[in-house]
Chain A
Amino acid sequence: MTAVTTQRQVDDRGRTGRFPTAGPVRSRALTKLTRRLPGRLLTLVLLIAVIYPLVWLFLGSLKSQSDYLNSPSYSLPAHWMWGNYKDAWVTGNLGTYIRNSVTAVLPALALVILLGSAAGFALQVMKWRLSRTVMLLFLAGIMVPSQMILLPLFTIYFQAGLTGSLWPLIITYTATGLPLTVFMLATYFRAVPREVIESAAIDGAGIFRVFFSIALPMVRNAILTVALVQFFFMWNDLLVALTFTNSNNLRTVQVGLLNFTGEFGSIQYGPLFAAICITVFGTLVLFVALNRQVMKGLTGGAVKG
């Protein structure tokens, strides 16, 4: 409370210093308004810059082809063509692409979290001689660009007969997701108090029991955060998916969107915009539901990586 009041006083003093004539209540309210106005305006401009393109996208997704081509870009749809969404989903194969993305991303995500947390636990909590070396080895992986591993993987998957399935995506996503996951989770395991682990061991719990029943539940918020970060990396990936999906019915959402116009022969703006909208608003729903964790995870990953 005291901090707030002192701040007020300083503010007021500063203000009267700058506007020596400001005395009566009315002009003070006016100065307050003019002081706040630029901030409000700037906020408005920023929000329009971020939100307007998406509103325009949504309106475009409901326009017919001739409506989109002939009426001004800011106009509302002449007829609200909800059928564009069905076209995008069925004719545009977006339904298939989304199913492929889910099939590739969810197993990879589960594997990354399971293997990454186990490795992070062993590297951070357990005591062994090479742990620092192995950690550095994982850290090096954060720096390596995916281009450096694509060509041999292409050969391996080709030789192993995995091309023509989604396995190459699952395997590659798992491996490329591990370095950052291991590193982030290892830092979170540092916060688990030694005493808790020691007392569990004294009570007779085995090390795996300690890991699954004590350490993992204690970092479950961190796991959600890291999982969200990895989810967005995998879901939004284009490079790996483009390299390993050679047939139309294996395409993920991003590859499908990139080739979307091809499905209709020529660009059909309504269905194209509808497809973009589905992918954009799908991610948006996830973000709205879990925005605190997403923001914490993405910025946390940046500071650490």
Chain B
Amino acid sequence: MNEFLGNRRAIATLVGPALLIYTAVMLVPVFWTAGYSFTSGNAITGYHFVGLANFRQLLADPSVGTALWFTVRYGVVLTIGQVAAGYLLALFYVFVLRQASALVRTLIFFPIVLPTVAVALMFQNLFSIAPVNGPVNSLLNAVGYHSVDWFGSAGNAFWIIIIMDIWRSMGFYAVLLYTGLLDIPETTIEAARIDGATGLRLVRHIVLPLSFPVLLSAVIFSINGTLKVFDSILALTNGGPGSATTPLTLYMFNTSFSYGEYGYGATIALLLTVICLVVTVALYRWSRTGTPEAAQ
């Protein structure tokens, strides 16, 4: 049997094509990009070696600081927002709607599959002020407030992005966390109820600790996603006003393709990748120490 499952030629045939494409199109370009970060120029003008100049520029570039600060705020606020919204929804499904929740779960889930660009264009018009008030401003007018230029200030634009992302993802996180809540044994909850734990106390002392592992994976997934955010922000605010809502991903894209600075773009991409690596490893280690049984 070992001979049958250890057939080298068969293994090479099965794994080879995938590994080849993956290596050629992902692994090699990763190191290639790292090489570009020591050069200046682009695909049309050619490249020349500039040593560490790009890295010096990176350290002194105020746009990098702005982009990093935006990414941090966006990552923290959105992760808390969407995981909390998803968790509350999941609790709502399990304890209030119970068996009746299937349809509601499906309906609230579906925005996650919609094309990001379409959703972003929709939100642009939902919150628009000119040439015509969108539904949100109309509603504000109806209750006696003035229209707000939602994309005109950095603070407002940031919150519209957050609202849009929570609208898209809360149903997704709800289903993710709901399956985790279902894994909690019914008998445990009944026992706690009989002992007099109800409502918030039940959630705080019984449900929350028991759903910690699945909450953790939701947080990890969310943070990974927020670091790579690109489509929704490009389509919704295009990084504006100014560069107030520009994450590193978009800054890299603009530097490379709008200004043709591939060398410096590669350096920004390298910074982004290093951040992703550090955060992933940190989260992985944290999740191992956080849940001893998961380390098995």
Binding site for B on A (CB under 8 A): 3, 6-7, 10, 14, 39, 42-43, 46-47, 49-51, 53-54, 56-57, 60, 68-70, 72-74, 115-116, 118-119, 121-123, 125-128, 134, 137-138, 141, 143-156, 158, 171-172, 174-176, 178-179, 182, 197-198, 201, 207-208, 211, 232, 235-239, 242-243, 253-254, 257-258, 260, 269, 272-273, 276, 279-280, 283-284, 286-287, 291, 294-295, 298-299, 302-303, 305
Instruction: List chain B residues, Cβ under 8 A from A147.
Output: 249, 252-253, 268-269, 272-273
User: How far, in angstroms, from A134 to B11 measured CA to CA in the complex?
Assistant: 12
User: How far, in angstroms, from A255 to B27 measured CA to CA in the complex?
Assistant: 27
Cβ of B203 under 8 Å from chain A: no
Q: Could you tell me which residues of chain B, from 22 to 72, have a CB within 8 Å of some CB in chain A?
A: 22, 24-30, 32-33, 36, 43
User: How far, in angstroms, from A242 to B273 measured CA to CA in the complex?
Assistant: 20
User: How far, in angstroms, from A126 to B8 measured CA to CA in the complex?
Assistant: 10
A121 near B14 with CB under 8 A, answer yes
B266 near A143 with CB under 8 A, answer no
Instruction: List chain B residues, Cβ under 8 A from A156.
Output: 29
Given A116-B18, A155-B43, verify A254-B104 contact (CB < 8 Å).
no
**Interface with A: B73-81, B133-141, B151-159, B204-212, which one?**
B133-141
18 contacting pairs across A/B (C-beta < 8 A):
A39-B92, A43-B104, A118-B15, A118-B17, A118-B18, A126-B6, A126-B10, A137-B22, A148-B269, A158-B43, A175-B21, A175-B26, A179-B22, A236-B114, A236-B231, A238-B116, A276-B118, A299-B176
Given A201-B1, A238-B235, verify A122-B115 contact (CB < 8 Å).
no
- The closest CB in chain B to the CB of A46 belongs to B108
13 more A-B contacts (CB under 8 A) besides A141-B27, A151-B269, A305-B224? A50-B111, A125-B5, A128-B6, A144-B30, A148-B269, A152-B28, A182-B18, A198-B1, A207-B7, A238-B116, A269-B125, A286-B113, A302-B176
B276 near A145 with CB under 8 A, answer yes
User: From residue B163, how far is it (CB to closest CB) to chain A in Å?
Assistant: 10
Instruction: List chain A residues, Cβ under 8 A from B113.
Output: 232, 283, 286-287, 294, 298
User: From residue A25, how far is it (CB to closest CB) to chain B in Å?
Assistant: 23
User: From residue B252, how far is it (CB to closest CB) to chain A in Å?
Assistant: 5
User: From residue A248, how far is it (CB to closest CB) to chain B in Å?
Assistant: 16
Cβ of B131 under 8 Å from chain A: yes
Cβ of B286 under 8 Å from chain A: no
From A146, A236, A272, contact of B115 by CB (8 A): A236
A276 near B121 with CB under 8 A, answer yes
Q: Is the interface of B mostly helix, strand, loop or mixed?
A: helix
Instruction: List chain A residues, Cβ under 8 A from B167.
Output: 49-50, 53
Cβ of B149 under 8 Å from chain A: no
- The closest CB in chain B to the CB of A255 belongs to B117
10 A-B pairs with the lowest CB-CB distances in the bound complex, closest first:
A175-B25, A119-B18, A152-B32, A122-B14, A152-B29, A149-B29, A238-B231, A115-B18, A39-B96, A118-B14
User: From residue B146, how far is it (CB to closest CB) to chain A in Å?
Assistant: 16
A10 near B269 with CB under 8 A, answer no
Binding site for A on B (CB under 8 A): 1-2, 4-8, 10-11, 13-15, 17-19, 21-22, 24-30, 32-33, 36, 43, 89, 92, 96-97, 104-119, 121-123, 125-126, 131-135, 138, 167, 171-172, 175-176, 179, 186, 190, 193-194, 198, 214, 217-218, 221, 224, 227-228, 230-231, 234-235, 249, 252-253, 256-257, 262, 265-266, 268-270, 272-273, 276-277, 280
B97 near A43 with CB under 8 A, answer yes
User: From residue A77, how far is it (CB to closest CB) to chain B in Å?
Assistant: 15
B138 near A73 with CB under 8 A, answer yes
- The closest CB in chain B to the CB of A232 belongs to B113
Q: Is the interface of A mostly helix, strand, loop or mixed?
A: helix
Instruction: List chain A residues, Cβ under 8 A from B270.
Output: 148
User: How far, in angstroms, from A194 to B99 measured CA to CA in the complex?
Assistant: 37
B4 near A201 with CB under 8 A, answer yes
User: How far, in angstroms, from A287 to B17 measured CA to CA in the complex?
Assistant: 31
Instruction: List chain A residues, Cβ under 8 A from B104.
Output: 43, 46-47
Given A141-B22, A143-B277, A148-B29, verify A254-B115 contact (CB < 8 Å).
yes
B6 near A295 with CB under 8 A, answer no
B92 near A295 with CB under 8 A, answer no
Instruction: List chain A residues, Cβ under 8 A from B266.
Output: 151
Given A153-B25, A253-B115, verify A50-B107 contact (CB < 8 Å).
yes
User: How far, in angstroms, from A272 to B120 measured CA to CA in the complex?
Assistant: 13
A257 near B118 with CB under 8 A, answer yes
User: From residue B29, how far is it (CB to closest CB) to chain A in Å?
Assistant: 4
From A119, A137, A174, contact of B27 by CB (8 A): A137
A298 near B112 with CB under 8 A, answer yes
Given A56-B135, A145-B276, verify A178-B22 contact (CB < 8 Å).
yes
User: How far, in angstroms, from A141 to B2 measured CA to CA in the complex?
Assistant: 30
Instruction: List chain A residues, Cβ under 8 A from B224.
Output: 143, 305
